[in-house]
């Protein structure tokens, strides 16, 4: 049977029962068979992956293999790889080939990870369903009529379907954890600054985090050990020492206090999702944990605060994609012909041709109109509005103050608990097309994940079981104080062991 996690594969390779090249060949066959129906991969690097696998087998024989030798990993389209097209799910970057590796990719390569392909996503990471990609929707492996979540839906679907051991995603408001929940895998958003953002195409720079999606908590800990650490190319990356997360994640300290925020278990939460999440509380309680009721009083303002601040940053970050400096450029010849025809018509009708855009302004407008999809345009316009004169203080300034209050909520809560446990999403995966005409309902699917990004704390989603009505995966979310990912892994391993024991 094909192993699905990194550690299991590595054990087989080290015993000589398996080779990296044979494993990658089987993965490529599986991708060829399954990906047309899922659309998780936008491109597959078959020759490169096989070459890397042969190098891993050689290093294995020489005893020089890295910590990720044999690990087959996919990369979200928002994270650049040298020599690969990196679209960020957008027509705007459909032909952009990166000339350098992101720091995260560099660190994977340095430990002999095998990079097998690029993974689909919502355009510029703006979405919760991976329906906004310019390269088609991605489907949930658990039920192809359902979304996989977003924006890292391709990453979650690929891992859940066993097309790769793990994947890199990015999390701005829940984009690793929510799809992990909907697809039934582990998804980690580390502390802001724990993993370098160098080479991550920006959506909202004060929120964006690169994070792994994996088959197990152990694999998530292993990947964070490789990916974490200061990077001089990213001024926001932390200089905090990087512990050996894998060795720290095995045991849960007796008496650990697990906070249960009342605001995360109220109206809007599917009762069966709540039941499965509360079963995880009982597992931790049986292992010696102490449940503690807590309050995060500013939670009701989190979604509005996030969509003001994140869109404001997006409107600034995406200004560079104008067809001149970066990105898709409209057909200039055709545009000039249309411009000339418009002026001619105005002159014929006695109109003022001074009202017609200049050729440069028209080029900007046409390039961005053609390059960006509807959701990206919506968020750029919203962000530009909240930053505009007369509205800055009323919206952006006020949202920044509320963000600080949300951060303080978590600081206060962690005085009375060590980790916080909640649902990851209020429901299981919804149907494809179900929420595309209702942006507010789409945004509310991230209601339990957004606050961790606002506060900059680490959070992880892991499987909590299957919903009894629809059989779809349900996720439980764990949150911890800044740079205490070890607590997430310890609690997660306890939950994982209980699930494995239950069969």
Adjacency order of strands within the sheet including 72-76? 41-44, 114-119, 72-76, 166-171, 209-214, 186-189, 459-466, 473-479, 419-423, 257-261, 290-294
Per the model's pLDDT, the better-predicted residue between 247 and 486 turns out to be 486
Predicted confidence at residue 1, as pLDDT, reads: 44
Predicted confidence at residue 339, as pLDDT, reads: 80
Dmax over Cα atoms in the chain, in whole Å? 84
Is position 424 within any domain? Answer: yes
Predicted confidence at residue 503, as pLDDT, reads: 65
Q: Identify whether residues 246 and 393 lie together within a single domain.
A: no
**Range list of H helices, 233-373:** 245-248, 271-286, 302-317, 332-348, 359-371
Is position 113 within any domain? Answer: yes
- In the chain, what percentage of residues exceed pLDDT 70? 98
Domain of 384?
Answer: 302-397
- The total of structural domains in the chain comes to 2
Which distant-in-sequence residues (6+ apart) come within 8 Å of 157 by Cβ? 38, 40, 130, 138, 139, 140, 141, 148, 179, 183
Catalytic residue of the set 88, 151, 237, 315? 151
Q: Identify whether residues 311 and 393 lie together within a single domain.
A: yes
Per the prediction, the chain carries an average pLDDT of: 94
275 CB burial (10 A radius; 0-12, 13-18, 19+): middle
C-alpha to C-alpha distance for 209 and 203, rounded to whole angstroms: 10
Q: What proportions of the chain, in percent to the nearest 5, are helix, strand and coil?
A: 45, 15, 40
Predicted confidence at residue 3, as pLDDT, reads: 56
Which distant-in-sequence residues (6+ apart) come within 8 Å of 194 by Cβ? 209, 224, 228, 237, 238, 240, 458, 483, 485
Q: Token digits for 271?
A: 């009762």
Is position 234 within any domain? Answer: yes
**In terms of Cα–Cα distance, which of 5, 27, 7, 9 is closest to 18?**
9
Per the model's pLDDT, the better-predicted residue between 232 and 345 turns out to be 232
**pLDDT tens across 114-161, in order?**
999 999 999 999 999 999 999 999 999 999 999 999 999 999 999 999
Predicted confidence at residue 327, as pLDDT, reads: 93
C-alpha to C-alpha distance for 360 and 367, rounded to whole angstroms: 11
CB 373 within 8 A of CB 127: no
Q: Identify whether residues 254 and 110 lie together within a single domain.
A: yes
Residue 326: how many CB atoms within 10 A of its CB? 15
Tell me which of 364, 397, 430 is where a domain ends: 397
Residue 175 is a catalytic residue: yes
Q: Token digits for 245?
A: 């997360």
Is position 487 within any domain? Answer: yes
**pLDDT tens across 384-420, in order?**
999 999 899 999 999 999 999 999 999 999 999 999 9
**pLDDT tens across 456-478, in order?**
999 999 999 999 999 999 999 99
Q: Identify whether residues 390 and 427 lie together within a single domain.
A: no
**pLDDT tens across 28-40, in order?**
999 999 999 999 9
Q: Identify whether residues 42 and 164 lie together within a single domain.
A: yes
C-alpha to C-alpha distance for 417 and 291, rounded to whole angstroms: 9
Q: What is the pTM of this model?
A: 0.95
Q: Identify whether residues 241 and 377 lie together within a single domain.
A: no
Is position 336 within any domain? Answer: yes
**Range list of H helices, 372-422:** 374-387, 398-413
CB 193 within 8 A of CB 238: yes
C-alpha to C-alpha distance for 57 and 408, rounded to whole angstroms: 50
Is position 105 within any domain? Answer: yes
Q: Identify whether residues 84 and 174 lie together within a single domain.
A: yes
Place of tokens 């997660």: 492
Give yes or no for residue 249 having a pLDDT over 60.
Answer: no
C-alpha to C-alpha distance for 23 and 115, rounded to whole angstroms: 13
Predicted confidence at residue 45, as pLDDT, reads: 98
Is position 136 within any domain? Answer: yes
Catalytic residue of the set 88, 175, 216, 237? 175
Q: Identify whether residues 223 and 362 lie together within a single domain.
A: no
Q: Identify whether residues 348 and 393 lie together within a single domain.
A: yes
In DSSP notation, 216-248 reads SHHHHHHHHHHHBS--TT-TTS-------HHHH
Predicted confidence at residue 2, as pLDDT, reads: 58
Answer positive or negative: Cα dihedral of 28, 37, 9, 242.
positive
Mean pLDDT of 271-293: 97
CATH code (residue 248): 3.90.1300.10
What crossing angle do the helices spanning 398-413 and 302-317 adopt, rounded to 10°?
120
Is position 286 within any domain? Answer: no
Give yes or no for residue 18 having a pLDDT over 60.
Answer: yes
Beta bridge partners of 309: none
Integer distance in angstroms from the first to the last C-alpha of the chain?
18
Give yes or no for residue 19 having a pLDDT over 80.
Answer: yes
Q: Identify whether residues 392 and 425 lie together within a single domain.
A: no
Predicted confidence at residue 470, as pLDDT, reads: 96
- The CA-CA-CA angle for residues 373, 377, 380, to 5°, reads 140
C-alpha to C-alpha distance for 80 and 196, rounded to whole angstroms: 13
**pLDDT tens across 44-73, in order?**
999 999 999 999 999 999 999 999 999 999
Place of tokens 């996919």: 74
Tell me which of 346, 366, 397 is where a domain ends: 397
Predicted confidence at residue 208, as pLDDT, reads: 98
* Helix or strand holding residue 37 (H, E): helix 20-38
C-alpha to C-alpha distance for 143 and 183, rounded to whole angstroms: 9
C-alpha to C-alpha distance for 178 and 392, rounded to whole angstroms: 30
Q: Where are the beta strands (DSSP E) in 57-163?
A: 72-76, 114-119
CB 261 within 8 A of CB 253: no
Q: Where are the beta strands (DSSP E) in 88-225?
A: 114-119, 166-171, 186-189, 209-214
Beta bridge partners of 423: 476
Catalytic residue of the set 76, 146, 189, 435? 76
Give yes or no for residue 355 having a pLDDT over 70.
Answer: no
Q: Identify whether residues 391 and 427 lie together within a single domain.
A: no
Give yes or no for residue 264 having a pLDDT over 70.
Answer: yes
Q: Identify whether residues 381 and 426 lie together within a single domain.
A: no
State the pLDDT confidence band at 17, using cuts at 50, 70 and 90: confident
Q: Token digits for 36?
A: 């047309």
C-alpha to C-alpha distance for 238 and 191, rounded to whole angstroms: 9
Mean pLDDT of 71-80: 98
CA distances from 17 to 20, 72, 161 (A): 10, 17, 23
């Amino acid at each position: 049977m094909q192993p699905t996690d990194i550690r299991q594969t590595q054990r087989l390779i080290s015993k000589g029962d398996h080779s990296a090249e044979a494993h990658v060949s089987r993965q490529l066959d599986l991708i060829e068979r399954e990906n047309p129906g899922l659309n998780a991969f936008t491109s597959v690097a078959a020759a490169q992956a096989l070459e890397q696998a042969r190098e891993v087998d050689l290093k294995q024989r020489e005893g020089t293999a890295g910590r990720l030798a044999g690990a087959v990993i996919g990369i979200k389209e928002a994270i650049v790889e040298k020599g690969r097209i990196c679209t960020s799910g957008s027509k705007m970057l459909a032909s952009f080939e990166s000339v350098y590796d992101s720091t995260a990719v560099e660190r994977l390569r340095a430990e002999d990870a095998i990079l097998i392909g690029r993974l689909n996503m919502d355009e510029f990471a703006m979405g919760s369903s991976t329906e906004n990609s310019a390269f088609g929707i991605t489907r949930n492996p658990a039920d192809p009529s359902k979304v996989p979540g977003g924006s890292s839906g391709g990453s979650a679907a690929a891992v859940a379907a066993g097309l790769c051991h793990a994947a890199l995603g990015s999390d701005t408001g829940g984009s690793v954890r929510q799809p992990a929940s909907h697809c039934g895998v582990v998804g980690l958003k580390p502390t802001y600054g724990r993993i370098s953002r160098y080479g991550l195409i920006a959506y909202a720079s004060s929120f964006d985090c690169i994070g792994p999606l994996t088959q197990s908590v152990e694999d998530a800990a292993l990947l964070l050990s490789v990916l974490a650490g200061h990077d001089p190319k990213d001024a926001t990356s932390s200089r905090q020492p990087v512990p050996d997360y894998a060795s720290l994640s095995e045991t849960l300290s007796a008496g650990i206090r697990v906070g249960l925020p009342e605001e995360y278990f109220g109206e809007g939460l599917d009762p069966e999702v709540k039941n499965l999440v509360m079963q995880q509380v009982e597992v931790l309680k049986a292992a010696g944990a102490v449940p503690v009721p807590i309050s995060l009083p500013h939670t009701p303002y989190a979604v509005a605060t996030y969509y003001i601040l994140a869109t404001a940053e997006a409107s600034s970050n995406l200004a560079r994609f104008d067809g001149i400096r970066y990105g898709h450029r409209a057909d200039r010849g055709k545009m000039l012909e249309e411009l000339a025809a418009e002026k001619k018509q105005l002159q014929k009708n006695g109109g003022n041709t001074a009202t017609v855009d200049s050729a440069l302004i028209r080029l900007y407008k046409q390039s961005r109109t053609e390059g960006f999809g509807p959701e990206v345009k919506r968020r750029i316009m919203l962000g530009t509005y909240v930053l505009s004169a007369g509205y800055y203080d009323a919206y952006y300034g006020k949202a920044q103050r509320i963000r600080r209050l949300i951060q303080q909520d978590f600081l206060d809560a962690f005085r009375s608990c060590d980790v916080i446990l909640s649902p990851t999403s209020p429901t299981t995966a919804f149907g494809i097309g179900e929420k595309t005409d209702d942006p507010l309902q789409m945004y509310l699917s991230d209601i339990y994940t957004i606050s961790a990004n606002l506060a900059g704390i680490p959070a992880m989603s892991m499987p909590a079981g299957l919903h009894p009505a629809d059989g779809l995966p349900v996720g439980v979310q764990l949150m911890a104080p800044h740079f205490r990912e070890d607590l997430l892994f310890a609690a997660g391993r306890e939950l994982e062991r209980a699930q494995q024991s239950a069969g």
